[in-house]
Structure 1
Amino acid sequence: MQAGVRSAANIPELRRRIFFTLAMLAVYRAGVQVPTPGINGEAITDFFAQVGGLFDMFNMFSGGALENFSIFALGIMPYISASIIFQLLTVVVPHLEALKKEGESGRQKITQYTRYATIGLAMVQGMFISIGLEGMSAPGGAPIVIDPGWGFRLMTMLTLTCGTAFIMWLGEQMTERGIGNGISLIIFAGIVASMPAALANTFRMVGTGELALIFIPLLLILVLGVTGFIVFVETAQRRVPVQYAKRMVGRKMYGGQQSHLPLKVNMAGVIPAIFASSIMMFPETVGNFIQIDWVQRMSAAMAWGSLPHTVIFVAFLIFFCFFYVAVTFNPVDVSENLKRNGGFIPGVRPGKKTADFLDKVITRLTVVGAIYISAICVLPTVLISEFNVPFYFGGTALLIVVGVSIDTIGQIESHTMMRNYDGFLKQGRFKGRR
């Protein structure tokens, strides 16, 4: 590990990328501390401390920006929602489907549409939140909004929209000029920043008697066990053997070697957890800001931890697992590429038979991956309802932290190997690396 760090530090380009990523994350964390104008900071902190539940999760994803109601209070969720919308639309809208097939130029056009949709969603959410805050007060009766009115509403909408746009720009810059996926790293930074408060809250619960002391070592074992399980599944692969036929090119014989097609057990990664979580935040958020009877009843029925919430959450996880894999992996294209390069799967005829075989394998792997993601993400509900254990130590948060860490380390390792180094990790190499 130390040798890998030294190797990474000796590569100027990689060193610049890592420093740039850290600098952008520092800018993001600094922005989380900048409050939105016109808000009573103490009152809104007391209000969110009383609400808890889903707001704790939203606050965790925003890195504490919601609790402080900073300029980044909306976080990156509008961008994620816009990405979900356009990924769904690429399947049903011919124009977007054609853009997707155009390659890099088409992808940039879809990204531009996603940016516009992000601004629109942020403006709508910012306006609704500002209107909702005007009618709220802290448990002691102190108003959250100092000077309500259209001036406050427009200023808040503009502030929150600009904050989301800036976070979106930071994420894109980190992806392009840094290391790792910028949007995932922003969510990762928010979750990690919430971990010290979660630990302090756990020890506070032990001190007040809300959590028995015996649960601390058991909780530590559980966290390590779940983390190890996530690492195992995230690096697990189904290697489909591939044989290349021999062919003569001039006077030389090419081909004849054996290889394999690595298919991850969880090909969707953390995307289903992020997408499903962002969607499930919407009903209760609306219920807290719109004081209408039927909206309140719907929000109460969909409260975090309730049976309808858990069932629908799992359904969204399964849907996005299959949807994301279907969007990112096309068995027909893989089959055609193998056939074009003289490759075939032993025992399977090239062409349609190979595509059908790959589709069958991918479907089975996706079923296993969906069950795995659902079990990990539902874990906090079980811990809270049965043992009153803070949910920060499992579920979506831990899945995102481990998944993003593995992906980022993998990218660092790729850069080191491109420069003829041994890789970032000499011991315990990632599966599939040779």
Structure 2
Amino acid sequence: MKEFIQTIKNIWSLKELRDKILLTLGLILVYRFASYISLPAINMAEVGSLLDKYQSQGGSKQGAGLLGLLSSFTGGAFSRASVMALGIMPYISASIIVQLMGMAIPYLQKLQKDGESGRNTLNQITRWLTIGVCLVQAPSYLTSITKVFLPTTQFASAYLVDPNSIILFWLPSVIILVAGSVFAMWLGEKITDKGIGNGISILIMVGILANLPSAFIQEFTTKTSTGGSGAIMILIEVIFWLVVIMLAIILSVAVRKIPIQYVSRAQARGGVNRNLMEGARQWIPLKVNAAGVMPIIFAQALMFVPGLLTGIDSTNTFLAGFKNVFSWQYNILFALLIIIFTFFYTAITIPVNQMADDLKRNGGLVPKVRPGKETSDYLDSILSKITLPGSIFLAIFAILPAIVHGTLVSTDGFALFFGGTSLLIMVGVVLDTVQQINTYLLNHHYDGLMQSKLSRTSNNI
């Protein structure tokens, strides 16, 4: 405990780090405040009463099914008809599209290799593509809140203007939703540039954590209303949740270390001495889950397709199951897609051929493996072996909310925190932010040592 308090003091004593943290917290507050500003055409008080009525009937304030999942990423702004309803997700979608297009379009491949100027151009392309994605998602969202979230018989009380009017409702609402998403993107980039951590990921994490208190309170109320055993069940749920978080951290940081031996050749008379001198031993850390949460994001994007098919044949109970994130149909297909996308994304992001070439060029080799193609095949073999269990564990984490829902956890909202994208994003963002803070502390410590050494040297002189 003393070490933790001392670390907090060290963080606060660094003016640069303190300013970055305060700026980050300030921009997060702006983002959360904006998420409570409703669209001008929406009667926010009436929408709140409708959501309360839905919740009293056993539902969740974040909605149900896939729409509720989207709402959880925006901190409830999606279900509140907020100006920030689309949140940062259009930017995430645009980034994924640009990353995938970079595999097939030579121009984007060239930009990826052009250093800082190329990254700036890719960022600009991503920003414009974000606006394009918003122009597609905004009308879809407006359709959802007029046809799904709000009962059809209460349109008059939920809207201040005619929801069928293009001039009064659709056009202004689309413009405001696009502006809100662009503003969220700007806040994320400012946090990345001027604050601490990855701004885009932090905004997603904040949106997810915003739902945690209400979800826990709802779960606590549901459990304790059943009798004296409810408090014990809540304690069991919290302990199990902490165990799941610990396992998620292990999955995020687990690596397979490949030993690398760097060697050098000593010059001899008349040529090069073939005897290799032992150099420094290092490691190539291959992550068990090198793809992170991207396979889950890709799979969730595709899982909307079966749900849309329900609109074609609403009487088909099998297809109807794909609209419920807790159904067995949804989760079996979801797990299979995650395993497939994990191998796919790992293959395109871990260039084993380039790694083998770089090792050969820098005089490094894997012990008992020849440089070049054999090294590439060896790395590919190891990567495939660790990716299989990594993908299976990732799939289990993704469908864990459906497993605990109805068996251990009673409410939809709290069940979503037992795995899936929500938990992995929270764990990944926290680990990344803590690592950046530790880097600042270490750099300050090293600067202090260097300054003391320089001062002692100058005194000796």
Q: Does the alignment reach a TM-score above 0.5?
A: yes
* Counterpart Cα distance in 2 of 1:327 and 1:30: 39
- Write the mapping of 1:33-432 to structure 2, written as runs, cut at 5 A: 33-45=36-48, 46-47=50-51, 49=55, 50=59, 51-135=63-147, 138-139=150-151, 141-143=153-155, 144-147=158-161, 148=163, 149-150=165-166, 151-209=168-226, 213=230, 214-248=232-266, 256-280=279-303, 284=307, 293-294=312-313, 300-303=320-323, 304-389=325-410, 390-396=414-420, 397-420=422-445
| SS of 1:66 mapped into structure 2 | coil
Letter of the aligned partner of 1:146 in structure 2? L
Contact 1:65 1:72 in 2 (8 A): yes
Q: How far does residue 177 in structure 1 lie from its aligned partner after superposition?
A: 2.0
| SS of 2:78 mapped into structure 1 | helix
> Once the two structures are aligned, what percentage of the paired residues are identical?
36
* Counterpart Cα distance in 2 of 1:354 and 1:401: 36
Letter of the aligned partner of 1:180 in structure 2? G
| SS of 1:63 mapped into structure 2 | coil
Per-residue CA deviations over 1:119-149 (Å, capped at 9, x if unaligned) read: 1111122123324444567459422333121
Per-residue CA deviations over 1:243-288 (Å, capped at 9, x if unaligned) read: 11134599xx99711111222222222333344345535765x689
Kindly indicate whether structure 1 or structure 2 has the higher relative contact order, using CA contacts under 8 Å at least 6 residues apart. Answer: 1
Moved more, 10-19 or 135-144: 135-144
Q: CA RMSD in A?
A: 2.9
1:18 to 3, 18, 21: 21
Partner in structure 2 of residue 429 of structure 1? none
- Aligned pair count reads 416
* Counterpart Cα distance in 2 of 1:76 and 1:358: 36
Distance change >3 Å, CA 256–CA 380, structure 1 → 2: same
Distance change >3 Å, CA 139–CA 215, structure 1 → 2: farther
Partner in structure 2 of residue 5 of structure 1? 8
Greater Cα radius of gyration, structure 1 or 2: 2
* Counterpart Cα distance in 2 of 1:332 and 1:21: 39
* Counterpart Cα distance in 2 of 1:75 and 1:120: 15
* Counterpart Cα distance in 1 of 2:26 and 2:254: 33
| SS of 2:79 mapped into structure 1 | helix
* Counterpart Cα distance in 1 of 2:191 and 2:67: 27
Letter of the aligned partner of 2:26 in structure 1? A
Q: How far does residue 345 in structure 1 lie from its aligned partner after superposition?
A: 1.1
Per-residue CA deviations over 1:202-245 (Å, capped at 9, x if unaligned) read: 11212443996142122122111111111222222211111111
* Counterpart Cα distance in 1 of 2:384 and 2:293: 18
TM-score under structure 2 length normalisation:
0.82
Per-residue CA deviations over 1:99-123 (Å, capped at 9, x if unaligned) read: 2233333333222222212111111
* Counterpart Cα distance in 1 of 2:234 and 2:184: 36
Moved more, 19-28 or 44-53: 44-53
Moved more, 3-12 or 78-87: 3-12
TM-score under structure 1 length normalisation:
0.87
* Counterpart Cα distance in 2 of 1:296 and 1:188: 37
| SS of 1:259 mapped into structure 2 | strand
* Counterpart Cα distance in 2 of 1:88 and 1:408: 26
What are the ranges of 5 or more consecutive residues in structure 1 without an aligned counterpart?
423-434
Per-residue CA deviations over 1:137-169 (Å, capped at 9, x if unaligned) read: 745942233312112001110111111111111
Contact 1:239 1:261 in 2 (8 A): yes
Distance change >3 Å, CA 279–CA 199, structure 1 → 2: same
Contact 2:11 2:18 in 1 (8 A): yes
* Counterpart Cα distance in 2 of 1:319 and 1:405: 27
Letter of the aligned partner of 1:264 in structure 2? K
* Counterpart Cα distance in 2 of 1:63 and 1:158: 21
| SS of 2:250 mapped into structure 1 | helix
Moved more, 31-40 or 332-341: 332-341
* Counterpart Cα distance in 1 of 2:102 and 2:378: 25
* Counterpart Cα distance in 2 of 1:101 and 1:262: 23
Per-residue CA deviations over 1:398-420 (Å, capped at 9, x if unaligned) read: 22211211111112112222223
Contact 2:237 2:408 in 1 (8 A): no
Per-residue CA deviations over 1:367-392 (Å, capped at 9, x if unaligned) read: 22211111111000111143453313
Letter of the aligned partner of 1:276 in structure 2? A
Distance change >3 Å, CA 160–CA 299, structure 1 → 2: farther
Distance change >3 Å, CA 27–CA 420, structure 1 → 2: same
Q: How far does residue 316 in structure 1 lie from its aligned partner after superposition?
A: 3.3
Letter of the aligned partner of 1:383 in structure 2? V
* Counterpart Cα distance in 1 of 2:284 and 2:100: 28
Q: How far does residue 294 in structure 1 lie from its aligned partner after superposition?
A: 4.1
Distance change >3 Å, CA 10–CA 80, structure 1 → 2: same
